[in-house]
Amino acid sequence: MKIFELNGLKSTLEKSKNIVIVAHKNPDGDAVGSSLGLSLLLKEVFNNKNIQVVLPNRFPEFLEWLPKQEQILFFDQNNSEAKKSINNADLIFTLDFNSFGRTGEMSQELEQSKADFVMIDHHQQPDDYAKFSFSDTSIGSTCEMIYLTIQHLGYEKFLTKEVGECIYTGIMTDTGSFKFSSTSSQTHRIIADLIDLGVENSKIHQNTFDNNSLSRLQLMGIAMNNLKVIAEKNAAYITLSQEELDLNDFKKGDTEGFVNYALSLKGINLAVIFIENKSEGIIKISLRSIGDIDVNTLARKYFNGGGHQNAAGGRSELSMSETITKFEKILTDEF
Ligand code: 5GP
Ligand code: MN
């Protein structure tokens, strides 16, 4: 699905005084990279506007090196300031999601807003709230779409190294460091442009991925120990209980990428990780697949979630063992 309806965005941008940029809850590298990158770019283009990134909650520590990340407001921590920004906005960019519900508590504020909305996103089945939309499920990251949008608007000359670092990060994390099938020649051309801009690619990989804590690696050890293979269904899954997380000093982002190890098993084309979150009373679920197995549909149908064909997420309000039983039944029914 491709929608490219950005006609008139440039003149609306020029007229807007208060611009807010939001992304989804539990923001990942693509969500933070796209929102921060766009905000830094717009600040280069215009020096007389209020441009504010508002994220529903904090991002993982491994993204804390991103330039100017301290300018971001978090709806849960800076609630009144964040609400004020959203209420005063005349233009709101919604990045890396396409349904207000993906912003959690913040969705109420967005629904009430009188601002014009811009959607730039690569997830399936977009809602219809945006006046300006760029929605394309074939593109690997929202950051790649931000770069294309900058080109469309003719703002290339305002690209700085810092904007490039943000965009590079989101492309890198959402393409699994340029290995997923969504990585195209266009992706690599954009990456080449960013390197020409002065972006130090190797440093970004190191800053993001080579900053592990010992407790994270030990938690990974537990996750790999808990890995179960259902060979006849070519599936594998990992569980992590709240107790296991607590014993290993769990911090947001620590489990990022664990599910990919399950998918890397020979012969496995469906991998899932179930992570208990006692404070929210849910099991958070991440699904990954290879080829035609559509985990977006599985996540929507069974786990109140969604995402992409080969990478999706959702939640279960059952206990861990009930959730696993449900998952095993889904495997029997669907595969
Ligand atoms: P992850 O498993 O890494 O959290 O997310 C994989 C993909 O699924 C991402 O594109 C993410 O935006 C999407 N996703 C994760 N959790 C949810 C969810 O609860 N609902 C929906 N609709 N999408 C999700
Ligand atoms: Mn994304």
145 CA → ligand 1 middle, Å:
18
Closest by CA position to 42, among listed 118, 148, 150: 150
pLDDT in tens, the chain (335 residues): 899 999 999 999 999 999 999 999 999 999 999 999 999 999 999 999 999 999 999 999 999 999 999 999 999 999 999 999 999 999 999 999 999 999 999 999 999 999 999 999 999 999 999 999 999 999 999 999 999 999 999 999 999 999 999 999 999 999 999 999 999 999 999 999 999 999 999 999 999 999 999 999 999 999 999 999 999 999 999 999 999 999 999 999 999 999 999 999 999 999 999 999 999 999 999 999 999 999 999 999 999 999 999 999 999 999 999 999 999 999 999 99
Closest by CA position to 19, among listed 54, 56, 53, 51: 51
DSSP 3-state of 239: strand
* Token digits of residue 268: 């496995």
Instruction: Summarize pLDDT for 159-212 with one digit per residue, the tens.
Output: 999 999 999 999 999 999 999 999 999 999 999 999 999 999 999 999 999 999
- Count, in order, helices (H) and strands (E) of the chain: 13, 13
pTM of the model: 0.94
Our measurement of the distance from residue 10's CA atom to the centroid of its chain's CA atoms, rounded to an integer in Å, reads 25
* Contacts for 92 with CB less than 8 Å, ≥ 6 apart: 19, 20, 21, 22, 86, 110, 113, 115, 116, 117, 118
307 CA → ligand 2 middle, Å:
9
- Contact assessment for residue 194 and residue 168, using Cβ atoms and an 8 Å cutoff: yes
Pocket test for ligand 1, best of 28, 258, 309 (most atoms within 8 A of CB): 28
Burial environment of residue 320 by CB neighbours within 10 A (0 to 12, 13 to 18, 19 or more)? middle
- Closest-lying ligand to the alpha carbon of 25? 1
The set of protein residues with a Cβ atom below 6 angstroms from ligand 1 is 24, 102, 286, 305-308, 311-315
Shortest-distance Cα residue to atom 11 of ligand 1: 307
Which amino acid, residue 33? G
Shortest-distance Cα residue to atom 24 of ligand 1: 313
Number of Cβ within a 10 Å radius of residue 86: 23
State which residues have CB under 5 angstroms from ligand 2, the bound ion.
Answer: 30, 96, 142, 174
- Closest-lying ligand to the alpha carbon of 173? 2
DSSP 8-state symbol, 169: H
* Token digits of residue 70: 């301290």
- Closest-lying ligand to the alpha carbon of 308? 1
Cα 244 from Cα 146, distance rounded (Å): 38
In which element (H, E) is residue 242 found? helix 242-247
Domains and their CATH numbers in the chain: 2-209 (3.90.1640.10), 214-334 (3.10.310.30)
Residue in this structure with the two tokens 């929202």, named with its chain if needed: 142
Say how many residues make up the chain: 335
Shortest-distance Cα residue to atom 8 of ligand 1: 312
pLDDT in the model for residue 114: 97
